[in-house]
Every structure is written in C-alpha cells, then in structure tokens.
Amino acid sequence: MQLSDFQPRPRLEVKHTVVERPRFRAIDAHNHLSPPFGGDWDARPVSELLDVLDAADVQLVVDLDGGWGEAKLQQHLDHFKNAAPERFQCFGGVDWSQWQDDRFGEQAAARLRVQASWGAQGLKIWKPFGLHVRDQHGDLVAVDDARLDPLWQTAGELGFPVLIHVADPVAFFDPIDQYNERWEELGNHPDWHFPSPPYPAFLTILEGLASLVTRHPQTTFIGAHVGCYSENLAWVGALMDRCPNFNVDFSARISELGRQPYSARRFFLQYADRIVFGADASPSVDYYRLLYRFLETDDEYFAYGLGDVPGQGRWQIYGLHLPDDVLLKVYQTNAERLLKL
C-alpha cells in the first residue's frame, strides 16, 4: 500500500461536538477571496458569499488579496467593499518588482497612501519578503532593512495594521528526509522547500521580524500564522512581551496549536488581548465550524482539516475549551480595535 492511500480511522470513542455558530459573532481577520488561495468569490455575486458568512455568523472578512497588486486591490474594492462596506475590509500591498534604487521605501510608502485614498484599510506583506525579494543590486532584502522604514512609518501614520507573513513552517526549512514531519506535504509542493543555502535560515528571518517590530513601536503589526512560528509559542510570547505593538492571528495553524493544547491554551489565556481570529481559507461554513470547535470545545483527537488525508501532517488535534471572556476578545473585540471598526 502506498502511504498516500493510508487513511487510518481512529477507533477512539470520544465526544464530537458540532458548533454551528460561534459563541460571539466572529471577525475573520485573515482570508482570501480569489485565486490562488480563496476560490472564485471575485467572479461570483457577493450575495452568495454573504449567505455563507451569515450561515457561519461571521460579521466581517478582511480580504488580503489586494496585496497581490494594485489592479487586484481596485477590483476587490469595487466588487466586495462597494457592495457591502460593513462586511469587508481590503488590505493593500507592495509591488516589490518596482525596486529600482534605495528610495524604494519612500516610493512604496507613497503608493500605500494612494491605496488608502482608494479605500484600502491595512497593509499585507506576503512571504516572498525575506525569501525572494531583492534590491537593485540583486541582493536579498532583509526583513528589517532600514531602507523600508518609510513604509512602516507611513502604515503607522495611517493607522493601518500591517499583517505580515515572512516564513513558513520550520519543517519547510529542514532537509527533506526521513525525519521531516512535512515530508508528504513537501513532496506534493516541492516549491515550498526553503533550504539554507540558498535561502536564509529560518531563525534569521524570524530575528529580522523581531528587529523590525521592535524598531517601529508606533506601527501595529499582526504576525500571520501565530507570528510565523506556531511551533514555538515561547518565542512568539517573548516577542509579544517585548513589543506591545505585536499581535498575531492563528490562521491555518490549528494543526500546530491543536497538537500542543496545554501550551496553546496557556498562550491564548496569557495573550487574550492580542490574538485575532482568521481562517486563511476560502470562506466555508464547514471550515468555520471546525475553527469554532477548536476554540470552544474540549473535544479530543479530531481532524484539523476537512479532507480524508491531513494536509500538513498525519496527526490529530484537541480543542482548547477557552472561556467566554477570551472567546469574545479573539472572535471580536481585538479585531474591532486593530481594524478600527
């Protein structure tokens, strides 16, 4: 039998709780509404998407796909924001291909102001930053490169949260061998492998993120995917302790958090004011309900995805059973503050 055909069914007799609606109406602060990550919502009537959000009791979605380019930002503002302004926010982005000289940071800052005038309400930084983005000399741009200071300062002046993703799971930086727990996933997506060299080491990228956040205390940062280091909550918590301007979402990381439920629950309790809800998947009632189950129940050993074979690793997760005061903050009030609703 091929490993890809192996689909073990747990024989545990444990509780299965269906959470149809969140304890408090949710704000999805990290999602995508168009290809390659968000389906084809940009080609469908907005009313169909609103039906899904209403069924899952999601109050608002932050659409990050405007960060792919200004043409897409304008398209999404026209299609989503103008149709239902109280239900969507669209974040802008940076066109790294325009890096021509050391004034790029000022130029990117000026473009961000233009995007704000169109209706953008935040800045999304994608993971090519730190891995692929190069300057006019062909040199890799460090995450804390001082030439970009005008961009981060402008985001702070605009009151824009910067949702930043600079590194993938740690295993993506490890050798693809018998010890790599993401062996199957990397086999399916070999372009997700970032060995050092030629790429920077994982901790080099993360230390650059810490340096960036520390140097710009007046700018609000949201570290995507539990600060890009969900495998090490102590590291993320230490950065949050040092930097009150650093927040995190947990999008696409219940697979990691759910296999360390004691540590994850302590993390949510300790940093309840700094964690926001996010799906990072095309809006789906079933997937939202899975996230609610993870946050609200004490269910044991259940799948973190909707497919037959786990997408990120062959393990199961456990619910965090968070108290109501924490759920209210994670679902709603933290995002209301950061997004200035």
Q: Are strands 246-249 and 162-164 parallel, antiparallel or unpaired?
A: unpaired
> Which pLDDT value is given to residue 329?
98
**Distance, CA of 226 to CA of 251 (rounded, Å):** 7
Q: Which pLDDT score is estimated for 67? A: 80
Q: Quote the pLDDT of residue 218.
A: 98
Which pLDDT score, from 0 to 100, does residue 63 have? 97
CA-CA distances (angstroms) from residue 228 to 161, 167, 233, 323?
16, 6, 10, 25
pLDDT of residue 39: 85
**Please, are residues 251 and 225 in contact by the beta-carbon 8 Å criterion?**
yes
Look up the domain containing 196 and give its range: 3-338
Q: In the chain, which stretches have pLDDT less than 50?
A: none
Residue 59 has a pLDDT of 98
Convert the pLDDT of each residue in 283-308 to its tens digit: 999 999 999 999 999 999 999 999 88
Q: Give one word for 57, left, alpha or beta, with left for phi > 0 and alpha for psi -120 to 50.
A: left
Instruction: Judge residue 25's burial from the number of C-beta atoms within 10 Å of its C-beta, 0-12 exposed, 13-18 middle, 19 or more buried.
Output: middle
- Per-residue model confidence (pLDDT) at position 168: 94
CATH number at residue 303: 3.20.20.140
Instruction: Tally the domains of the chain.
Output: 1
Judge residue 325's burial from the number of C-beta atoms within 10 Å of its C-beta, 0-12 exposed, 13-18 middle, 19 or more buried. Answer: exposed
Host H or E run for residue 340: none
* CA gap 170, 173 in Å, rounded: 6
Query: Residue 36 has what pLDDT?
Result: 86
* pTM, to two decimals: 0.97
Residue 217: asked if its preceding bond is cis (omega within 30°), the reply is: no
CA atoms of 38 and 28, how far apart (whole Å) = 13
Q: Which of 39, 119, 116, 44 is nearest to 78 (CA)?
A: 119
What is the pLDDT at residue 310? 87
The pLDDT assigned to 68 comes to 83
Q: What is the pLDDT of residue 199?
A: 96
User: Cα separation of 323 and 75, whole Å?
Assistant: 40
